[in-house]
Amino acid sequence: MAAVMLAPAASRLLMSGNEAVARAVWEAGTKVAAGYPGTPATEMLEQLSTYPDMYTEWSVNEKVSLEVAIGASMMGSRSFSAMKHVGLNVASDALMTLTLTGVEGGLVIAVADDVGMSSSQNEQDSRFWGRFAHVPMLEPADSQEAYDMTRYAYELSEEFQVPVILRLTSRICHVKGLVTVGERIERPAKGFNKNAERWVMVPGHAKRRIPLMLQREQELKRLSDRSPLNMLEPGTDRRVGFITSGPAYMHVREAFPDAPVLKLGLSHPWPLEKVAALAEMADTLVVVEEVEPILETELKAAGFAVHGKDFLPRIGELAPEVVKPAVERLLRKEAAPEPQSALAPPPLFPRPPTLCASCPHMGVYYTLSQLKNLTISGDIGCYTLGAGHPWNSLDSTICMGASMGIALGMDKGRGEQDRNKRIVAVIGDSTFMHMGMQGLLDLTWNRGNVTILLLDNGTVGMTGGQNTPANGRDIHGQGAPRIDFPRLVEALGVKKERIHVLDPYQLPVLFKALRDETKIDDVSVIITDRPCVLIEEFKPFRPYVVEEDKCTGCGNCVEVGCPAIHVTRREKVVKPSGKEVELAFTRIDSVACTGCGLCVQPCAPEAIVHFAPAGSVISIQPA
């Protein structure tokens, strides 16, 4: 990270799209940058926090991060806010009025779409926000463009006094390519100009801003035709002309190197005259865009005969091997069958992501899996993995913070058939502070009957361990006020006697607390307090081993779900009752084991013991 930061102007570096955006934000003289972690956007703020002469923060959620950027812009400073696609849903309330006030210091919002859904609860196309909010949208196709367009976004933002959305996808954020970087230009704040008609959006003021917003969009439309970011490449094979943007451009260029292509860098508003020029030079027009047929629909409405999602996939990422056969079939006028790969992937077991060895969530999910009659409302984070094997202990996941409100709705909406169910909500510390606090307040105020597990592991775990108010460190790792969860939930209306702070490695304590609290018709909060194993607060313990001669093959330890526990052999036996059972004899991978002791507790024959004393040779056994 430091190497990128210190790299002098004109250095040519291998950078991810996120790193390139961060460098350009810094070079643009940006004073304030804020964001909330989320794949694939996380590294933009992480990188920015290493640059000097600017303020960066992890905000508690994306809406706050955009508001922080807006405030800085009002002061006449350049500002930046970064988030993943679902984050902009949260921030959109601010965006939809920001478009009326416009900006003073350049304001750029980077939104990263998880196309293909590597780590998200849905697949969304953020290009809609450009249309919805009437703001310009830039779409880079690689790291160099991510850098160039970010620099330009600030010029555009200040020229038109408009927030600019930089739309990225996973294949921009996480692809590394070569980038030539430049120098930082200092831009002193212009100062705040008190102007209620501009900044106080009451109806009378806002009404006067709407025509200005629409006029701005018309001017941007004309700019779009002049902009070098919208590049018409004539080509020689003119059977098909392509209109494309973002990573899809690279796929089109690779699949059809000689075709005319209109590459949209400023993709909203799109350039009418350049589309018309492409239509003149090509026999057939094809729009290649990932996810939704947005451009295709708009071009059709403007009277252009274009193909697009009639033969290209609407779900997931595109690639040259997807685009090429589809277009070739279109040219041959064939009914398009699904492409068959000559090289089928071999049939193989799946390897889903799972909780780490010693993960403090594991004890919680093991305990939940052992309790009957629960309906469990889950949330967004590593603990969503509790829906998987062997725990199968999550019944819903929708969006950040939703576990609270959904649990209350389950309680209020249940019928006779669910009368005996105990409703549990599971949420992590960062998600709770992001959007869960309001839900808990709603729960207590409206007298819900829910037991809440607040899993405080002191970090945003799923995105790699960012700091939060729960660990008392800011984005730079410096000391910051640390939130006190018991006092916070009490202030939100939970009775003091219904708040418990527990060690999630102590299974009997956890089991008893959960069993007792779910029986009480009130809001209870059980806070677990072990750190995520990926952060510096976690200190590994002595690893364990299975004593082979004592293991009876009961398989209880396997049910804990720890990735360090392996089955060495299986044996079918007939019990005295006549029932056939399969025994699973186990070993513990002592390199992976960090000694949390969760598996020790359910082990019937007490065969799991501490590893041999220090100084002995660690051998790596094959599975």
Stretch that binds another protein, among 197-205, 472-480, 583-591, 596-604 (CB under 8 A): 583-591
Select 369 or 375, whichever has its Cβ closest to another protein.
Answer: 369
The secondary structure of residue 512, as a DSSP letter, is: H
Q: Whose CA is closest to 62, among 41, 40, 32, 88?
A: 88
Shortest Cβ 206–another protein spacing (Å):
39
How many chain residues touch another protein (CB under 8 A)? 66
Select 343 or 614, whichever has its Cβ closest to another protein.
Answer: 343
Q: Would you say 185 and 28 are in contact if contact means Cβ atoms under 8 Å apart?
A: yes
Please give the Cα distance from 181 to 144 (Å, whole number). Answer: 9
Q: Would you say 495 and 517 are in contact if contact means Cβ atoms under 8 Å apart?
A: no
Q: If binding is defined by CB under 8 A, does position 346 make contact with another protein?
A: yes
Shortest Cβ 243–another protein spacing (Å):
17
Please give the Cα distance from 34 to 378 (Å, whole number). Answer: 27
Please give the Cα distance from 262 to 277 (Å, whole number). Answer: 9
Q: If binding is defined by CB under 8 A, does position 370 make contact with another protein?
A: no
Query: Per-residue contact track with another protein, 133 to 162, x per CB under 8 A?
Result: ---------x--------------------
Q: If binding is defined by CB under 8 A, does position 265 make contact with another protein?
A: no
Q: If binding is defined by CB under 8 A, does position 496 make contact with another protein?
A: no
Applying CB under 8 A, among 351, 419, 572, 579 the residue interacting with another protein is 351
Q: If binding is defined by CB under 8 A, does position 305 make contact with another protein?
A: no
Task: Give the number of other Cβ atoms within 10 Å of residue 615's Cβ.
Answer: 5
Shortest Cβ 96–another protein spacing (Å):
29
Q: Would you say 393 and 365 are in contact if contact means Cβ atoms under 8 Å apart?
A: yes
Among positions 174-233, residues that touch another protein (CB under 8 A) are 174-178
Q: If binding is defined by CB under 8 A, does position 464 make contact with another protein?
A: yes
DSSP letters, 265-315, are SEEES--HHHHHHHHHH-SEEEEE-SSS-HHHHHHHHTT--EESTTTS-SS
Q: Whose CA is closest to 26, among 133, 240, 182?
A: 182
Q: Give backbone dihedrals phi and psi of 409, rounded to 5 degrees, phi first.
A: -65, -35
Q: If binding is defined by CB under 8 A, does position 400 make contact with another protein?
A: no
Crossing angle of helices 507-519 and 360-370, rounded to 10°:
50
Shortest Cβ 123–another protein spacing (Å):
13
Select 574 or 620, whichever has its Cβ closest to another protein.
Answer: 620
Q: If binding is defined by CB under 8 A, does position 565 make contact with another protein?
A: yes
- Could you tell me which residues come within 8 angstroms of residue 388 by beta carbon, excluding any fewer than 6 positions away? 352, 354
Please give the Cα distance from 455 to 434 (Å, whole number). Answer: 14
Q: If binding is defined by CB under 8 A, does position 566 make contact with another protein?
A: yes
Stretch that binds another protein, among 96-104, 342-350, 394-402, 415-423 (CB under 8 A): 342-350
- Could you tell me which residues come within 8 angstroms of residue 81 by beta carbon, excluding any fewer than 6 positions away? 33, 34, 35, 62, 65, 66, 68, 69, 91, 107, 108, 109, 110
Shortest Cβ 456–another protein spacing (Å):
19
For residue 564, which amino acid is it? A
Task: Give the number of other Cβ atoms within 10 Å of residue 310's Cβ.
Answer: 12
Shortest Cβ 442–another protein spacing (Å):
30
Applying CB under 8 A, among 319, 509, 520, 583 the residue interacting with another protein is 319
Q: Which residues bind another protein (CB under 8 A)?
A: 14, 39-40, 114, 116, 118-120, 142, 170-171, 174-178, 247, 250-251, 253-254, 257-258, 317, 319-321, 341-346, 348-356, 382, 385, 389-390, 462, 464, 534, 558-559, 561-563, 565-567, 570, 582, 584, 586, 591, 619-620, 622-623
